Amino acid sequence: MIDGSAALKGIQNGMTSMRQQAHTVATEQAGSRDSTSAQVGMIASQNQIEAAVKSLQAEDRMIGSLLDIRA
């Protein structure tokens, strides 16, 4: 069974992490170790979100193909 819940959970986790990292960047002094680490974390969160979206898109294409074959 094709289920998009794992991809949706990945997007949700990435967005939560992105918000936390953005808060750190906004509240820490620019150029500090915490701010720099948070910026790197934001890039990692972006990559996680993009990967989860691509997974969801692949699942969508697979379902569409199955429906086309079935019809």
pLDDT (tens digit per residue) in 14-33: 999 999 999 999 999 999 99
pTM of the model as a whole? 0.84
**Banded model confidence at residue 1, pLDDT cuts 50, 70, 90:** low
- Is residue 55 scored above 90 in pLDDT? yes
What pLDDT does 13 receive?
97
**DSSP strand E in 1-71: where?**
none
Sign, CA dihedral 7-9-10-12, equals positive
Mean pLDDT for all residues in the chain: 92
Q: How far apart are CA 9 and CA 3, in angstroms?
A: 11
Q: Tell me the one-letter amino acid at 37.
A: S
Computed on alpha carbons and rounded to an integer, the radius of gyration of the chain in Å comes to: 17
| Residue 13 token pair | 């986790």
Question: Taking a C-beta distance cutoff of 8 angstroms, is the pair 14, 48 a contact?
Answer: yes
